[in-house]
Copies of this chain bind each other. A is one copy, B any other.
């Protein structure tokens, strides 16, 4: 009979409480699967006095997270406090340095300090598991770290933030504005009072940085991710996308290019027929393009107490089994440095929406400036508000939207062409530019 795995849990919010419950309720199945029983022996949280619908009898309460992390009574430290700073960082590092295994759902911590922590794990022989940090119960970390161990990866991309996908889905389906949908998302608890972390793409960037490291063997670095949020997207863009056979999603994309690994988060047009385009509401999804094989897409809940706890306890089960995989798939000393690939050199198709002055020659001016930058146009649509055809003026001074889809080109060429169009004063306002990702 193997001794039980003794677990200490720091943080008893929604996820922490669910982890305690899951280990208690599924104890028998868990020990059958892990080969030994798992016992929560100690916990810590900000307030011991807080009322919790949780039976903590027989579980020690430790005041200080670092004291819990290094306690001789535990084998595995489960960090569910969150945040890239203290006390999470010190506690996790202390646990690893004392040879314990760590399980965490903390994407911010892993994105910022993942390398330093992985080094400590590898040096002292503990596991550092963080399946729940990306896509909650979707087993994307395990798939990249173990399931595709032998397959070169060309691209990994996905919908990693449920809040943004919920907002974009409602905008598309109901023709609502970003602001209206954000308000609803806040009311329903899908978005924070300060929504910037989600809607400006930072949450996606942290998760993408982790996936990129696992996929490409580079050092995790949130600073290497180009980030753009969804607040500029209008219902008109979503309607135009739909007419052209696309949907707009906030994607995190990490892709191997001739110029290095590109990591970027931005609103993206994806073909309606792609798996990722079918993903609606708060659901998350990740697609992995492996060398020589068709894409693999994993779809599921990217957040929520039960889904996150499911991944945390699966990680604990791996610790109990004695599984020790390098946190980023390869030993830290084998990970390459990550450089931030400049977006000016990004190559791809673009969707461009302009408000053009309704004058003879406007379309020609735009087309000429694109041609000067060697940008080929896949389609151009210029619509009069009254539905009249292009060329028939609706009156001097009026404006018409012009929608363009380009073939693959360089980002700097697009911006040079648009600057030239603006200098000619044939458009008003800021052009809307959305990158296209082909499947």
Contacts and interface: CB of A to CB of B under 8 A. Distances in A.
Interface string A107-138: 00000000000000000000000010000011
Q: Which of A26, A34, A149, A331 has the most CB of B within 10 A?
A: A149
Interface in A301-337: 301, 304, 306-307, 310-311, 313-314, 316-318, 321-326, 329-331, 334
Nearest to A277: B278
Contact of A29 (B146, B152, B275, B331): B152
A226 to B, nearest CB: 26
A293 B301 contact: yes
Nearest to A314: B149
Interface residues of A, number: 59
Contacts of A311: 147
Given A137-B290, A217-B29, A299-B297, A149 B304 contact: no
Contacts of A301: 293-294, 296
A298 interface: yes
Interface string A368-390: 00000000000000000000000
A63 to B, nearest CB: 28
Nearest to A135: B296
A143 interface: yes
B290 A296 contact: no
Contacts of A23: 150
A293 B307 contact: yes
A142 interface: yes
A292 interface: yes
Q: Which of A151, A318, A330 has the most CB of B within 10 A?
A: A151
A323 B143 CA distance: 15
A422 interface: no
B300 A34 contact: no
A317 to B, nearest CB: 4
A151 B137 CA distance: 10
Contact of A149 (B33, B290, B306): B33
A310 B330 contact: no
Given A32-B329, A142-B147, 14 more contacts: A22-B150, A22-B151, A137-B290, A146-B314, A150-B313, A151-B310, A275-B278, A275-B299, A293-B300, A294-B301, A295-B300, A296-B298, A297-B300, A298-B298
9 contacts: A26-B151, A29-B152, A29-B217, A32-B334, A34-B149, A35-B326, A142-B143, A150-B314, A321-B324
